[in-house]
């Protein structure tokens, strides 16, 4: 089959359009991972996304159709150092990744941690949750990954 100028030009235009499309798809990662380790958070949550820049970090904020907001805090080095949520309970296993097991074992080992609210402080991992059945709030962060200029109170 002989290629014409038009079909070659169309291939180039399709290639450029594909690169632009892929560049604007937001990438998400889980707590403690590099932002380049793309996960299926947005698709899984069926969420709209916006990037909120701050002076010492950026936040990728997802909002689900049910109104739940999930924020992933990203350091200038591209590391997810914190996540926060409010609304319906999100899939914490998806958001916390390998740190979910640590949270789960801390919650089951101490019966006083169960109930409406929970505070887990296991050295590096800090998790705070609260709320009721239809509206929960929470945050999780890694002390070792917090940028020097960021205080734990900045994570909301």
What digits encode the pLDDT tens for the residues 14-60? 333 333 333 333 334 578 887 754 345 666 666 777 888 899 999 98
DSSP labels, 1-12: -PPPHHHHHHHH
Nearest to 115 by CA among 129, 126, 127: 129
**Structural domain range at position 120:** 28-154
Position 13 in a domain: no
Digit-coded pLDDT (tens) for 107-122: 787 666 555 688 899 8
Strand partners, 126: 121, 141
Position 71 in a domain: yes
The pLDDT score that the predictor gives to residue 139 is 96
d(CA 130, CA 134): 11
Count how many domains the chain has. 1
Token couple for 94 = 């998806």
Position 8 in a domain: no
């Amino acid at each position: 089959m002989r290629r014409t100028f038009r079909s070659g030009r169309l291939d180039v235009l399709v290639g450029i359009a594909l690169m632009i499309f892929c560049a604007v798809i937001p990438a998400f990662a889980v707590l403690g991972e590099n932002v380049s380790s793309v996960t299926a958070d947005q698709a899984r949550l069926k969420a709209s996304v916006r990037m909120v820049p701050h002076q010492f970090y950026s936040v990728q904020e997802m909002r689900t159709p049910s109104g739940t907001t999930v924020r992933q805090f990203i350091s200038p080095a591209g590391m997810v150092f914190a996540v926060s949520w409010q609304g319906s309970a999100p899939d914490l296993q998806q958001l916390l990744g390998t740190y979910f097991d640590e949270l789960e074992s801390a919650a089951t080992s101490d019966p006083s941690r169960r109930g409406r609210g929970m505070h887990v402080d296991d050295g590096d991992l800090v998790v705070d949750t609260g709320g009721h059945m239809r509206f929960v709030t929470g945050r999780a962060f890694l002390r070792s990954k917090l940028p020097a200029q960021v205080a734990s109170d900045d994570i909301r």
